[in-house]
Amino acid sequence: MDHHDHVELLRPAHLPSGGTWADLGAGSGAFTLALRELTGPAAIIYAVDREPARLRDLERNFLAHFGDSPNLRILPGDFTRPLQLAGLEGVLMANSLHFYKDKLRVLQQVGSFLKPNGALLVVEYNVDSGNLWVPYPLSFERFRRLAVQAGYEAPRLLGTHPSSFLRGFYSALTFIKKGTG
């Protein structure tokens, strides 16, 4: 997948311009760049990842793509633990949930970062059995059930993209229920 594919997987969410977002498990920033393209230069984006080297790559990629990045906030850390994030308009989790077995707990933790009715965008492999590199994937159908259990509205499938690795990807959008986040 390339930048265009990343943007097109997220575009059907019709994200508003601006706001404060987090990309959890941002890695080197492939989807952070797509999020920035769709939310515009006024959006504040927290890029969260456990690997500082990947975050340095993200900063370089962001700078090369958009120039100066005063609204990009690099936050080394583990998003499954408490972070100084609250009241976010939205969270993006692209290929990060599949590293965690207890997805219900992770989704509940992520909900605590969102303002009431805040958005959760997910990009994942659309399979339920993994491998060494994608240990705990979740299909859209499984995500749909887990999200509701975790206090979100029923997710909407935004798009799919083929992959030679584990069939394909999906993107989905859901919102934390009011009073849950």
Q: Tell me how far apart the alpha carbons of residues 114 and 128 are, in angstroms, rounded to a whole number.
A: 27
Domain contains 82: yes
Give how many domains the chain has, as a whole number: 1
Q: 49: number of CA atoms within 13 Å, CB side?
A: 25
Question: Which residue range forms the structural domain that includes residue 163?
Answer: 3-175
What CATH code is carried by the domain that includes residue 45? 3.40.50.150
Domain contains 181: no
pTM: 0.93
37-91 pLDDT, tens digit per residue, is 999 999 999 999 999 999 999 999 999 999 877 899 999 999 888 888 999 999 9
Q: Tell me how far apart the alpha carbons of residues 117 and 179 are, in angstroms, rounded to a whole number.
A: 8
